[in-house]
Structure 1
Amino acid sequence: MAGLKETPRQKMIGMMYLVLTALLALQVSDALLQKFVLLNNSLETANQSATDKNKGTVKGIEERIKDLPNPGAYADIIKKASEVRKISDAIVSQIDEIKSKVVEAGGGVDPETGNIKNPKEEEKVYHLMVGTGKKGEAYKLADDMDAFVKTLTTLADKGTSFPALALDAKDDPIVSKDGNQRNKDFAELNFAQTPVPAALATLSQKQAEIRRYESEVLSQLAAKVGAKEIKFDKVFAQVSANANTVVAGMDYEAEVFIAATSSGFTPRMSFNGGSIPVRDGRGQIKFKTSGGGYDANGLSKKSYTAAVSYMSPEGPKTETITKEYFVLKPTYNIETATLPALYLGCANRLSVVSPGLGSLWNPSFSAEGGDAIAGESRGKVTVVPSSSVVTLNVNNGGTLLGKETFRVRRVPRPEIKILGNGGELEEKRGASASGLRSISAVAVADESFKATNPEDAQFRVTEIYIALARGTRKINDLTLQGGGSIASLAAQAQAGDRYYIEVKGVQRKNFRGTVETIPIGSVVKNIPLN
């Protein structure tokens, strides 16, 4: 229950209620009945004291407002205080009427002794409070007490809550574990098999709770106009530093001091004109910093205004504080083996780091003229260009830190090599007409491209054309898928002939596993036979 505190008198009433509940579980004797009478008398005396105190609180609020410079500004406080008194008096008076009916159920008061004539009466109390079909006075009272708590909560400070006054046995921590009681509702729990004095004490205890709730809300209203003495009961140490970040070798300066707040005092606080939440007397300021206007050192000077409004003994006051701070321009470095250019359609893997931001570094990326694929670890990104220029946008925490533009180059063509019987064939040396039995072609990736983009440097020759020529005349020919046996040509080959070899197709598989045809132009070799 937020903000609800008990005075010693209220704690005593709570203890009386515990005793009352325990006595109800025992067999009633004359001595016990007398204890109930004494208990009820004590509760009624305490309730009258609480009523007088609450009246005094309202009067104190009214007197305090009269002394303030602008009393009309606090009309809502008076209105709320009057409403609190009104609903509290109404429910207490309702309970007083029920108590009178309970006394009548016990035969009324003996004029000679001043005692209830038949204090042991239980059946009539049951009929009055529980009744047939749950139509007794206790059920209507339970609904009215719930309505009272609901209305009172709307008049209290935000965050204040009050426990229900009419609890069923299953919700009452005192009797919820009692197998004989836990299935009873509020009326049955408090007024079944209950003699007159016990019923009266139960009703008086509810009146005590009502007055306690009333007192709490009135105290809150009194604090708003300074009619309540402010006690700073929460003391804590505080450190105020000139800066949270310093460069090595510079002095670090700070002040240590004692600060205090009051649990019964809630000042209004604002940040740049807008209200902010207040927790334990301390306003909570949180905002996302903005950059721009950086100086040569990468610093941008900023400021904000905080205000605290409170009711002092001299009247309402507002203290304003202007606080300066500096925003450090975020910097980052891009690490990649492919700088200064990236390769078109390839996985160009970059690592973007920001030592200055430290744990705050959690970047996201997007690209113009290509795709940006986030890596598995923080700051890793794969850029796949689709145009001659690609721009990488670097964001952190929703703030754009910068744009990096890269030139894009095409994938370098592979070198084509012709192999015979597994070794490279050379046009100057030639080959044996009878010994050459197989020819193949391989596409070798550029060394620098393969080193930086190994996943994209996967080439293969898909088709080669081979013809056996004698002078200007073609003897025979065949087409192979990258290479293979030429036994049919070798059977006709003679010294002085030559093999005309033309590479017809080359393909490349990229990092995504997609295969594309590479335009390589005319790749032809003539291998003389000897």
Structure 2
Amino acid sequence: MALSKGQLTRQKMINLMYLVFIAMLALNVSTEVLDGFVMINDNIQESIVVTDERNKQIYADIAASYETNRDKTQDSYNRAQSVKAKTDSIFDYLQYLKLEIAKKTDGADADINNLKSKDNLDASSEVMISPVGGQGKKLKKILDTYREAMVAQIPDESKRKIVSSTLSTEPSARAKKDHKDWITSSFDGMPSIAVLTFLSELQMNVKQAEGEVLNDLAKNIDLKDIRVNELSAFVVPQSNMVMKGVPYKANIIMAAVDTTQRPRIVINGKELPSEKNGLYEVGTGASGTYKFDGFIELMDRSGLPVRRNFSQEYTVMEPMATVAPFWMDVLYAGVQNMLTIAVPGVASQDVQATVVSGGTLTPSGKDWVAVPSPSLIGQKFIISVSAKVNGTQQFIARKELRIRPLPEPLAFISYTDQNGAPKVFRKGVIARSILLGTQGIKASIDDGILNIPFQVLSFRTMSVDAMGNVTPEMSSGANFSSRQIEQMRRMTRGTILIISGIKAKGPDGIERDLYPMEVRIN
């Protein structure tokens, strides 16, 4: 069981005194300092007795619960017995080491509770570090194994850190600086009384770790039952909305209720008001999957809180309706067509779609991308939709779309006006300065529905002067060639520039001849 606040304070004082005495020994203080270790050791022994009695009581409670309800208590009982065996083994081994060091210090008749040669600096080294029979490595291995076994059974992170720290075999910062490992820094050249006190502290830490594990095992089996005075029946459906062909499923349960007290409910760190009677409501401002967690707490007969944690996920979906105009069910061949595929009442991540024929279909975030094959223009693009409903994959619908070629793109000149706003020029009058400030021409489908860019491959410009003379020049890809730029520089106001022979290629890979442009220089 966890230590009380007063016991923790006392333990901290013991640890502090231990460190102070070690420091004083380093200064070769008088033998009275060594006697101080006796006082520290006596205090540790008293703490061991108190902790051990508390642990025995928990063992007794678990055993009593096991006798009355073996099915409920079997796992906790078995784990408690395993913890007891491991703890007794390492505690007895530490006691054995204390006795061996005492014998090396005062002889075969040594009394570990009344050490005579307290300042002996060789005994602990012989027992723990000697190349032949030294126990240091064995102790470190046993401590490491025990610590990991106990930490694995403690759910609370802060308590795990405490147990890991008190049973750590990592050398201190000072020891690392002096290039000493845990064994050397703990036992080499240390006074016998200091080592006995250190081993006693390890015994106390082992008992405290045992108590932490037992405390959690006891909580898991509800040693203190909760009184109830009412039984109520509840229907908990997997979903209040089901699709045709999908079975409706619900759990019918009977819950025990204590009408004399309201449980304390905390959700996401905020306590639910008691007048809500357990009803949790939260706004749904955005679609997606959300999670909430918390705990519900009641008092048992002895007035101690009994807490149970919970966690739940739910999905918020956009309000939706399917509108499918018959004459617009088309996909354009060779390009990416964005589709939204949704099933009412089902989260987007649980919706699956596959192509039966016509091209490819791949997910893209919450949407889908369909690419019909150019060789299948005029045929149908068929999609099969399924969804996971209540854990089962169900076929939902089959959708047919017509495959059409892309509409013809139009050429244009892109420029920026004096306010920095982008502009598109397709035909009419344009200033020569603006025309010379552009690099060439572009092409795209931009009919208010589609916005698909094309790659201009080449084009031809022809200037027509007032006498009707025509001067043709060829481009450099999508850009004006140097001869075309010079041609435009020579043009005067009112001169007509015809851009023709425009060839462009779209994302479908098809090369097209575009309509010419007629430009009048202003």
TM-score of the superposition, structure 2-length normalised? 0.54
| Conserved 8 A contact 2:118-2:193 | yes
1:54 is aligned to 2:88: no
Judged with a 3 Å threshold, the aligned counterparts in structure 2 of structure 1 residues 245 and 76 are, in CA distance, closer, same or farther, namely closer
**Cα offset for 1:79?**
3.4
Of 128, 147, 150, which residue of structure 1 is paired with 2:145? 147
- Displaced runs of 4+ in structure 1, greater than 6 A? 3-6, 109-112, 157-160, 353-357, 359-365, 373-378, 394-401, 410-414, 447-460
Q: Kindly tell me: are residues 217 and 377 of structure 1, through their superposed partners in 2, closer, same or farther at Cα, counting changes over 3 Å?
A: closer
> 1:157: how far off?
6.3
The equivalent of 1:237 in structure 2 is 271
SS of 2:123 mapped into structure 1: helix
Residues 201-258 of structure 1, C-alpha deviation per residue, up to 9 Å, x if partnerless? 100000000100111122223223433699x9996512765876799xxxxxxxxx99
Listed as ranges, the matches of 1:84-163 within 5 Å are 84-107=83-106, 115-132=114-131, 135-152=133-150, 161=160, 162-163=163-164
Q: Distance in 2 between matches of 1:389 and 1:180?
A: 77
Partner of 2:358: 370
- Aligned twin of 1:8: 6
Instruction: Specify the alignment match of 2:44 in structure 1.
Output: 43
Verify the 8 A CA contact 1:334 1:353 in the aligned structure 2.
no
Q: Counterpart in 2 of 1:404?
A: 399
Q: Which amino acid in the other structure matches residue 218 of structure 2?
A: A
For residues 191 and 141 of structure 2, the distance between their equivalents in structure 1, rounded to whole angstroms, comes to: 23
Distance 1:233 1:205, change over 3 A: farther
- Structure 2: distance between partners of 1:362 and 1:110: 77
- Summarize the Cα distance change of 1:516–1:202 in structure 2 as closer, same or farther, 3 Å threshold: same
Between the aligned partners of 1:237 and 1:141, the Cα distance in structure 2 is 48
Cα offset, 1:373, TM superposition: 6.4
**CA–CA separation in structure 2 for the residues paired with 1:413 and 1:43:** 91
- Aligned counterpart in structure 1 of residue 372 of structure 2, from 348, 369, 384: 384
Distance 2:325 2:350 in 1: 16
Contact persistence 1:363–1:379 (CA under 8 A): no
Aligned pairs for 1:56-95 (under 5 A) are 56-66=57-67, 68=68, 70-71=69-70, 74-95=73-94
1:377-399 deviation digits (Å, cap 9, x = unpaired): 96474542525122345789999
User: Aligned AA for 1:27?
Assistant: L
Q: Is the 8 A contact 1:64 1:226 kept in 2?
A: no
Q: Are the aligned partners of 2:381 and 2:400 in contact in 1 as well (CA < 8 Å)?
A: yes
Q: Deviations over 1:143-181 (max 9, x none)?
A: 22223334445666698854166644xx35xx3156654
Q: Which has the higher helix share?
A: 2
Q: In structure 2, what residue type is equivalent to 1:405? A: E
Residue 193 of structure 2 aligns with which residue? 197
SS of aligned partner of 1:13: helix
Separation in 2, partners of 1:188, 1:364: 64
1:404-439 deviation per Cα after TM superposition (whole angstroms, max 9, x unaligned): 32234578999xxxxxxxxxxxxxxxxxxxxxxxxx
Task: Measure the CA separation in 2 of the matches of 1:372 and 1:4.
Answer: 62
Equivalent pair of 2:106/2:117 in contact (CA under 8 Å): yes
| Cα drift, residue 101 of structure 1 | 2.0
Residue number in structure 2 paired with 1:512:
508
Larger Rg: 1
Q: Which amino acid aligns with 1:117?
A: K
Quote the residue 1:217 is aligned against.
Answer: 213
Consecutive unaligned residues of structure 2, counting only runs of 5 or more, are: 227-262, 286-293, 410-444, 459-502, 514-522
For 2:191 and 2:264, locate their aligned partners in 1 and report how far apart those are by CA, in whole Å. Answer: 45
Distance in 2, Cα, partners of 1:191 & 1:179? 15
How many angstroms does 1:48 deviate by?
1.6
Give the CA deviation at 1:348: 7.5
Q: Is the 8 A contact 2:361 2:371 kept in 1?
A: yes
* CA shift for structure 1 position 19: 3.1
| 1:404 alignment partner, SS class | strand
Q: Distance in 2 between matches of 1:184 and 1:74?
A: 46
Could you tell me how far apart the structure 2 residues matched to 1:179 and 1:459 are? 71
Cα 1:111–1:199 shift into 2, 3 Å: closer
TM-score, normalised to structure 1's length? 0.53
Matches within 5 A, 1:218-367: 218-227=214-223, 236-238=270-272, 259-260=296-297, 281-286=308-313, 331-332=321-322, 339-342=328-331, 345=333, 347=335, 349-350=337-338, 352=340, 367=355
Matched, 1:27 2:62: no
SS at match of 1:391: strand
1:48 maps to a residue whose letter is V
- Other-structure match for 1:476: none
SS at match of 2:60: helix
CA RMSD of aligned residues (A): 5.5
Contact 1:354 1:361 in 2 (8 A): no
CA distance in 2, matches of 1:88, 1:21: 26
Amino acid at match of 2:328: L
Alpha-carbon distance, 1:41 to partner: 1.0
C-alpha distance 448-64 of structure 1, shift in aligned 2 (>3 A): closer
- Name the residue aligned to 1:435: none
Change (3 A) 1:184 1:234: farther
Asked whether the equivalents of residues 88 and 210 of structure 1 are also in contact (C-alpha less than 8 Å), the reply is yes
Which residue in 2 is equivalent to 1:437? none
In structure 2, C-alpha distance between the alignment counterparts of 1:146 and 1:193, rounded to whole Å: 24
Q: Please say if residues 144 and 168 of structure 2, whose CA atoms lie closer than 8 Å, have aligned partners that are also in contact.
A: no
| CA distance, structure 2, for counterparts of residue 214 and residue 179 of structure 1 | 29
Deviation at 1:54, TM superposition (A): 1.5
The 3 A distance-change label for structure 1 pair 98 and 348 is closer
Answer with 214-223 or 379-388: which moved more. 379-388
How far apart are 1:40 and its partner, in Å? 0.7
SS in structure 2 at match of 1:47: helix
Question: Helix, strand or coil: the match of 1:131?
Answer: coil
Helix, strand or coil: the match of 1:188? helix
Instruction: Flag the 1:360–1:72 CA change in 2: closer, same or farther, 3 A.
Output: closer
Shift of 1:46: 1.1
Which residue of structure 1 aligns with residue 173 of structure 2?
176
Relative to structure 1, the CA distance from residue 98 to residue 77 in structure 2 (aligned partners, 3 Å threshold; closer, same or farther) is same
Deviation at 1:107, TM superposition (A): 1.8
Contact 2:358-2:379 within 8 A present in 1 as well: no
SS at match of 1:284: strand
Q: Distance in 1 between matches of 2:46 and 2:264?
A: 31
Q: Which runs of 5+ in 1 are unaligned?
A: 248-256, 268-279, 290-326, 415-446, 461-506, 518-530
